[in-house]
Structure 1
Amino acid sequence: MKILMISPCPMHPSNQGNRARVRSLCHAIQLAGHEVDFLNVIMEAGDTDKDRLFVGDSHYHSVEFNFNEAPLSIVRRFVKKFTDRQFMFYVNNGLDDYCSIKTVNFVKDLDQVRGYDVLWVEYIFFSRILEHFGCEKLKVLDTHDRFTDRYKLYIQNHMPYRWFSVSGEDEKKALLRADVIIAIQEEEGRIFEHLIEGQRRVSVIGHHVTLSKLPLSNPKAMLFLASGNDLNIMTIQHFIKEIFPMVRREVSDAELIIAGSVCNHLQVEAAGIRMIGIVETLETAYAMADIVINPISKGTGLKIKNVEALAFHRALVTSSNGAEGLDCAGNTHFIVADEPEECAKAIVGLMKDEAQLARIADSGYSYAQGFNEAAAREIDAVLSLEKIMR
């Protein structure tokens, strides 16, 4: 089966959650025996050579990103330049503001040459592409996240919002353009099913991770690996101020390693904290610490960095929000702690009890294996619909 995957983000370097997800889905579909072409609608810089190598030279395509040329879209973007700077006033995007007719035509021309069976679109703001193809193709929309009035989450926390946000009606319109809607976790799947009133199939496909059972070698070190978005910055600043001092009082040689582009937004000179910035590979970062933290208190979707931590055989300490979409199972696979004292106690407990740390890491790794198997089964189920449609 020939599949075209259309994405606004590259797959490499896989140092952000959305890139890691697109890469993992592409790889999982390849492993299922399908032929995958990758089209990067270039909204951000990436490693083109690695993307091309990953899918094969003849299967890699790219086109420059262009905003929608419609007059209303142009006016809306002009207004948003001013309103988005305010915490208390915000204008939603139009659903198709990020999708130019040039992008649509590029896909149509590519299909004329390649003849795809499946169009797999990443993010609802590219769903416009699906409207230009008929029932002869299976149309799949991987949502990544919910975008209905998404800006409100940020305004409530007095933070600027710099990403995509639409009305509920527009999100529904996007979903109905597809034959199959992919949600990243169960709760969002239920929300989408309710929104479209059962008119389309909604499948839940979590993050298909690359498993790498790293040995445990540094129980006194914890890792926070994140991109530089506002929620991640807020999360680690809170941890440094409220939680890390409590950990150091109990374990004087405890170390916090911060990795990823979040480091570009921090100024930290406290003892026991080391910032290493963007790493060449995820394995490089995860090998530095036996414990991974993600005490995020806000946000939607599946926290991909949590699944990655389990797949690298690390003991994970996260929050209830961070655990959304995962099976908490009585703190068997990872530890959930919401209050600062509770979080510090969990980390200290792991540092002082290496046997418990190993049990959590082993259980989490097994859970990641099962997570992969479930994702692979659901991908097979989705793509089998193409045969039914024909």
Structure 2
Amino acid sequence: MKRVLYFYPDNPVAKNSGNRTWAMRLLKYFKNRGVSVDFVSLSDWAHDWDTASVDWLLDNKLATNVHILFRKPPKKNIANYLISYKLPFLLKNRDGVLPDLVGNRLKHQFNAILKQRQYDYIIISYAHWAHLLKNNPLVGKAKTIIDTHDFLTSLFQNHKRFKLGASFEEEIKRLRLFNEIWTTSTDEQYIFSQFCKGSDVRLITTNLDRNHLQEKPISQRQYDIIYVASDNPHNKRSIKWFFDQVYPLLPQNLRICIIGRITAFVNDYPNVVKVPFVQDLSEYYTDTKIVICPMLSGTGIKIKVVEAFSYALPVVGTTRALDGLANKTHNGCLISDDPETFAKYIKLLLSDERKYK
């Protein structure tokens, strides 16, 4: 049996963002192929780990062992907190380059896991955490894999004192530490493969649990529009743009459903239903006509778009909705960055059955 050490900083059991959904599907992939996974995460990163989540992973045999580590020392001893964590972190990340989130405390805990057994594969999520394996002799003969999730240089560009060249160079240096580089985006695969010649840059397709068939007639579906999103900064900008500039151009009798943590940033409207969390999105996808993806920024493939395709639902989106897709045209999406055209596409799909199909 192959043994994998899989580091992912968030709680995938929550499934309230695209990246968490991706991590959960990866765990299910390993389980279905008889791979033993030691799962490593952070208690003080997502702040939503609890005993129930750990037990759920173990009970469902998605992980053989679960290790929840701490990135920061407790603040009870403020002197130790400042000297051992805060000051080194600020000094290391003061120059506007891609942040390095690996401190001595975290690396010590991670190394303690590596000392317990040898692994066939070690997977690290995000280049932020790449230095967990930098010059680390405890890796042994394991094949090392970085699951990039996103092009972090692009995500980091709005930070103060951002330095494009230095950040991109740093990200590439971190990726080159690994035998394999995983990305779900064809765009990012192209970029990384140009600069990481010594590593195998792989495009990992977004796998879904099953194929979905729309059985309910279009006319009987409860919602005209659905939008699923977490509350990251990109989604906040996107939903603001939609309600500020597109929503006023739409008929006020349209039934709109917003799902996910993004609902906390949506005002109350008479024709808008807000659902902060659902365990299974299928009941909503099968009861809607259109999915929107009004992204203005961000990187990587949009899980919400792929999910819409799996339910045979058309997508109205902005240019960023196509990120990561190999086929940018004739793919089930109507695309515009102009609010009036975006609204026109929604109205067209809802009024023209031939165009919808």
TM-score by length of 2: 0.82
Alignment equivalent of 2:157, drawn from 152, 155, 158: 152
* Paired amino acid for 1:119: I
1:256 alignment counterpart:
256
- Mapped pair 1:140 → 2:119: no
1:10 alignment counterpart:
11
How far apart are the structure 2 equivalents of 1:26 and 1:19?
A: 11
Judging by fraction of residues, say which structure has more helix. Answer: 1
Q: Deviations over 1:250-294 (max 9, x none)?
A: xx521111110011123x233322212222322243244221101
Matches within 5 A, 1:135-284: 136-148=141-153, 150-153=155-158, 167-196=167-196, 198-211=197-210, 212-216=212-216, 217-218=220-221, 221-248=224-251, 252-266=252-266, 268-284=267-283
Helix, strand or coil at the partner of 1:326: coil
1:129 alignment counterpart:
132
Compared with structure 1, are the counterparts of its residues 19 and 295 closer, same or farther at alpha carbon in structure 2 (3 Å cutoff)? Answer: same
Compared with structure 1, are the counterparts of its residues 76 and 288 closer, same or farther at alpha carbon in structure 2 (3 Å cutoff)? Answer: farther
* Paired amino acid for 1:323: L
How big is the shift at 1:147?
1.8
* Paired amino acid for 2:173: K
How far apart are the structure 2 equivalents of 1:149 and 1:344?
A: 28
- Mapped pair 1:20 → 2:21: yes
How big is the shift at 1:168?
2.7
2:115 alignment counterpart:
109
How far apart are the structure 1 equivalents of 2:198 and 2:213?
A: 41
1:96 alignment counterpart:
102
Residue 67 of structure 1 contacts residue 100 of structure 1 at CA under 8 Å; is this kept in 2?
yes
Residue 99 of structure 1 contacts residue 128 of structure 1 at CA under 8 Å; is this kept in 2?
no
Alignment equivalent of 2:67, drawn from 49, 59, 62: 62
User: Which is worse superposed, 212-221 or 10-19?
Assistant: 212-221
User: Which is worse superposed, 317-326 or 203-212?
Assistant: 203-212
Residue 175 of structure 2 contacts residue 181 of structure 2 at CA under 8 Å; is this kept in 1?
yes
Compared with structure 1, are the counterparts of its residues 284 and 155 closer, same or farther at alpha carbon in structure 2 (3 Å cutoff)? Answer: farther
* Paired amino acid for 2:253: D
2:78 alignment counterpart:
none
Matches within 5 A, 1:296-315: 296-315=295-314
Helix, strand or coil at the partner of 1:241: helix
How big is the shift at 1:79?
7.1
**Percent identity, aligned pairs only?**
22
Residue 92 of structure 1 contacts residue 167 of structure 1 at CA under 8 Å; is this kept in 2?
yes
Residue 9 of structure 1 contacts residue 41 of structure 1 at CA under 8 Å; is this kept in 2?
yes
Q: Which 4+ residue blocks in structure 1 deviate beyond 6 angstroms?
A: 68-73
Helix, strand or coil at the partner of 1:290: strand
Residue 90 of structure 1 contacts residue 151 of structure 1 at CA under 8 Å; is this kept in 2?
no
Q: Deviations over 1:211-246 (max 9, x none)?
A: 333434427510111111122111112111211222
Compared with structure 1, are the counterparts of its residues 80 and 140 closer, same or farther at alpha carbon in structure 2 (3 Å cutoff)? Answer: closer
How far apart are the structure 2 equivalents of 1:346 and 1:56?
A: 42
How far apart are the structure 2 equivalents of 1:78 and 1:141?
A: 25
How far apart are the structure 2 equivalents of 1:206 and 1:281?
A: 21
TM-score by length of 1: 0.76
How far apart are the structure 2 equivalents of 1:37 and 1:134?
A: 14
How far apart are the structure 2 equivalents of 1:74 and 1:235?
A: 33
Residue 210 of structure 1 contacts residue 311 of structure 1 at CA under 8 Å; is this kept in 2?
no
Which ranges of structure 1 fall in alignment gaps of 5 or more residues? 84-88, 360-390
RCO greater where, 1 or 2, for CA within 8 Å and sep 6 or more?
A: 1
Compared with structure 1, are the counterparts of its residues 56 and 191 closer, same or farther at alpha carbon in structure 2 (3 Å cutoff)? Answer: closer
Residue 182 of structure 2 contacts residue 201 of structure 2 at CA under 8 Å; is this kept in 1?
yes
Helix, strand or coil at the partner of 2:157: helix
CA-based RMSD of the aligned residues comes to 3.1
Helix, strand or coil at the partner of 2:153: coil
How far apart are the structure 2 equivalents of 1:224 and 1:315?
A: 12
Compared with structure 1, are the counterparts of its residues 229 and 352 closer, same or farther at alpha carbon in structure 2 (3 Å cutoff)? Answer: same
Which ranges of structure 2 fall in alignment gaps of 5 or more residues? 74-80
* Paired amino acid for 1:96: V
* Paired amino acid for 2:199: R
Compared with structure 1, are the counterparts of its residues 204 and 98 closer, same or farther at alpha carbon in structure 2 (3 Å cutoff)? Answer: farther
Task: Give the aligned length.
Answer: 335
